[in-house]
Amino acid sequence: MFWRKLLNIDSKIIYVVVGLALLLPVIKPVGMPVSISEEYTRRFYNYLTDIPKDAVVFFDLSFRETGEAELGSSVLPAFELLQKRGVKIVCGGQWQQAPFFMQSRLEKKAEEIGSVYGVDWVNIGYKPGGTATWRAMMEDFWKGAAGVDCNETKFDELPLMDRVRKLDKETFAAIVIWQAGTPGSGTWMQYAPDIPLLAVYMGGIGGNARYLRSGQVQAMIGGMQQAAEFEIITDCLGDATGLLDAQSLAVLVVIAFIVLGNISWIMVKRQDSLERSS
Amino acid sequence: MNMDPLIMLEAVGTIAVLSYVWKENAAYRFFEFTAIGLVAAHSIVQTWNNYLKPTVRDRMIGDGEWYLLIPAAIGLLYYTRVMDKKFSWLARYPISISIGYSIGYSLAYSPRPFLKEFRNNFASFGHVNDYIFLLVWLLVVFYFIFTLMKKTKKTLRVTGAITRCLIMIYMGVLFGTSILGKFSRLLGRYQFLLRDWLRLI
């Protein structure tokens, strides 16, 4: 029977179909229209543009290579937006990978827009030790961060770091976190609740919307959709705008599989009960 | 095609890991173990560069903070676990100190974000969403508190059924978010293979 065969379909076939649905639009994007979300993307953008000139913002890059396509694509527009407005940026991360592999992309972007490393921005890299390290930076940033950036350059050779003596609200106008999981924004809500927090979540906002409502996060965006919106609103088109088509098509395929799976299950159940009664 | 050896290696590694979707194989295993080894090695180098070197060179030798030898000695007691059994009990000291420290830390800082979230979420009622939020919260709390009474009380059975649907919707949102995250990861790899390696896009 057709429905029984469909219900017992080899999972590898589903993987291949979903894989192709993701692959084809990457090769040939459709160019689906994108509308800007007022509650999330516009609010996120407005918050960044309201940060006063010459303030210092901390970029917490808490993701790994697998998050580069989605999260990495909104780091660069945010970096460009703030740097062009004269806002200073200190990058770091609670995850090992992103502060390092984003360095070359940030350097390239900085060169494009004329930002000077050490004066306009610094990347302290990943500092192991978890929350104890961040707590130490709140007491003494230099000591907590071992006094060196991601290239082992001493803080006293980087003029911007003269202004960064503590990880507190007097030093940082905001923390912007790009997170692919835990540890993430929870660290800042727990240990630095006084510093305004902006968050970019991987996959989507999901259950994190409650933090926006409670005011623990001032603005947030999530998923490829809002990464694409952010690229458009900042006029800095990158990966997310192109990849959104692929993700949308794959979601449609998954929905189709869920619907077909449910119909198959109902049909098989009905046939089994008919067979039992006869 | 990009013939840079690092890009080639990354491409082969990506294909080998993705091949697990079809079947577990030796190439997948090789790259899985390589990745674990790399992470372990990287962590050791990071700890050495970020902690041990600056602590010993700058703080102990440079600034004369020799008291740091005391926590270092306590930390070294961890290794007594792999020594003779008559010394292994000494490992309990660093373990008890670190657990005590973690519990103290949690008790001091964990309730704060939760209480703030709770207080702020119910601070103002003006929008219809505020009432929906309160209603759903009450239903979920009642659902778990009166789990056992659902067998006897009809009202609780009805609200329980509604609440179960609400919880499932929430779980669905979390599941959907997780799936989208997985798609993003795969898209990143596709982009690497097609753009950075094969230069097709």
Render pLDDT for A68-113 as a digit per residue (tens, 0 to 9). 888 988 999 999 999 999 999 999 999 988 999 999 999 999 999 9
Q: State ipTM.
A: 0.81
Domain ranges of chain B: 5-111, 113-189
Which pLDDT tens digit goes with each residue over A184-224?
999 999 999 999 999 999 988 888 988 998 999 999 999 99
- A70–B54 C-beta distance less than 8 A: no
Q: What is the pLDDT of residue A32?
A: 82
Beta bridge partners of A219: A198
- Chain B contact set for A217 (CB, 8 A): none
A274 to chain B, minimum CA–CA distance in Å? 29
Q: Does position B150 have pLDDT exceeding 70, yes or no?
A: no
- Chain B contact set for A92 (CB, 8 A): none
Closest among B182, B120, B142 to A67, alpha carbons compared: B182
Distance between CA atoms of residues B167 and B173, nearest Å: 10
A273 to chain B, minimum CA–CA distance in Å? 26
Please state whether beta strands A56-62 and A197-201 pair in parallel, antiparallel, or not at all (unpaired).
unpaired
Q: What per-residue string of b and e applies to B49-84 under the rule 16 or more CB within 10 Å gives b?
A: ebeeebbeeebbeeeeeeeeeeeeeeeebeebeeee
Distance of CA A249 to the CA centre of its chain: 21
A113 to chain B, minimum CA–CA distance in Å? 24
Give the confidence band of B30 by pLDDT, cuts at 50, 70, 90: very high
Domain ranges of chain A: 2-28+245-277, 38-237
Read off the DSSP letter of residue A173.
E
Q: For the beta carbon of residue A171, count every other beta carbon within 10 angstroms.
A: 17
Q: Does position A56 have pLDDT exceeding 90, yes or no?
A: yes
Q: A38-237: which CATH topology?
A: Rossmann fold (3.40.50)
For residue B52, CA distances in Å to A129, A131, A228 come to 12, 18, 42
Residue of A126, A191, A202 with shortest CB distance to B109: A191
Give the confidence band of B153 by pLDDT, cuts at 50, 70, 90: confident
Which pLDDT tens digit goes with each residue over A142-192?
989 988 999 989 999 999 999 999 999 999 999 999 999 889 999 999 999
B51 → chain A, closest CA residue: A146
Distance between CA atoms of residues A241 and A29, nearest Å: 9
What's the distance, Cα to Cα, between the start and end of chain B in Å? 11
Report the interhelical angle of B154-191 vs A223-233 (nearest 10°): 60
Report the interhelical angle of A239-277 vs B154-191 (nearest 10°): 130
Structure tokens at A243: 């990849």
| Residues A191/A184, Cβ–Cβ less than 8 Å | no
Q: What is the pLDDT of residue A229?
A: 94
Structure tokens at A97: 């990978």
- A129–B51 C-beta distance less than 8 A: yes
Give the confidence band of A270 by pLDDT, cuts at 50, 70, 90: very high
- A251–B188 C-beta distance less than 8 A: no
Q: Does position B118 have pLDDT exceeding 90, yes or no?
A: no
Residue with structure tokens 């970020």? B50
Q: What is the pLDDT of residue B48?
A: 85
Residue of A96, A216, A243 with shortest CB distance to B113: A216
